[in-house]
Chains A and B, each alone.
Chain A
Amino acid sequence: MDVALDSLKFIDLTTSSIIFLFIVGFIGGLVSGFIGSGGAFVLTPGMMSLGVPGTVAVASNMCHKFPKALVGAIKRFRYGQVDIKLGLVLAASAGVGVQVGIRIQNIILEAWGQAGSNLYVSLSFVAVLVLVGSYVFYDAVKSSRGSGADETPALARRLQKIELWPMMTFKTANLRISLWFTLPVGFATGMLAATIAVGGFIGVPGMIYVLGAGGLVASATELVIAFAMGLGGTINWAMHGMVDIRLTLIILAGSLLGVQLGAIGTTLVREVMIKIVMGSIMLIVAVSRALALPKYLAQLGLMDISPERVSLMDQTSFVIMCVALTLGAVIILGAMYKAIRANAKQAAQEAYTQA
Chain B
Amino acid sequence: MAQEVTKKQALLRMAGFGVASAAIYGAVFQHANALTEMFSRGGVYAAMPIATVFLVSYVHGGFASNLWSALGITAKSPAKTAQPAKTKRPEVRATLNA
Contact = CB atoms under 8 A, between A and B. Distances in A.
Interface of A: 1-6, 9-10, 13, 63-64, 66-68, 70-71, 75, 78-81, 171-174, 214, 216-217, 231, 234-235, 238-246, 248-249, 252-253, 256-257, 260-261, 263-264, 267-268, 336, 339-340, 343
B79 interface: yes
Given A3-B37, A174-B82, A260-B68, 7 more contacts: A70-B57, A78-B3, A79-B75, A81-B82, A252-B53, A252-B60, A268-B76
A256 B61 contact: yes
B61 A71 contact: yes
Nearest to A216: B82
Nearest to A261: B68
Interface residues of B, number: 46
Contact of B41 (A241, A253, A263): A241
B79 A257 contact: no
B34 interface: yes
A244 B40 contact: yes
A263 B68 CA distance: 11
B60 A80 contact: no
B90 interface: no
B75 A268 contact: yes
A259 to B, nearest CB: 8
17 contacts: A10-B40, A78-B3, A81-B80, A238-B50, A241-B40, A241-B42, A241-B45, A245-B28, A246-B28, A246-B36, A249-B25, A253-B25, A264-B73, A267-B80, A268-B76, A336-B73, A340-B73
Interface string B1-26: 11100000000000000000000010
A68 B57 contact: yes
The prevalent SS among residues of A at the interface is: helix
Nearest to B74: A264
Interface of B: 1-3, 25, 28-29, 32-37, 39-43, 45-50, 52-54, 56-57, 60-61, 64-65, 67-68, 73-84
B18 to A, nearest CB: 12
A254 B85 CA distance: 38
Given A171-B83, A261-B68, A245 B39 contact: yes
B46 A235 contact: yes
Contacts of B53: 63-64, 66-67, 248-249, 252
Contacts of B2: 78
A174 B84 contact: yes
Nearest to A76: B75
B28 to A, nearest CB: 6
Nearest to B71: A261
Contact of B49 (A4, A245, A264, A340): A245
A246 B49 CA distance: 10
A6 B39 CA distance: 13
| Residue among B32, B48, B79 with the highest chain A CB neighbour number at 10 A | B32
A339 B76 contact: yes
Contact of B57 (A2, A3, A67, A264): A67
A5 B43 contact: no
B85 to A, nearest CB: 10
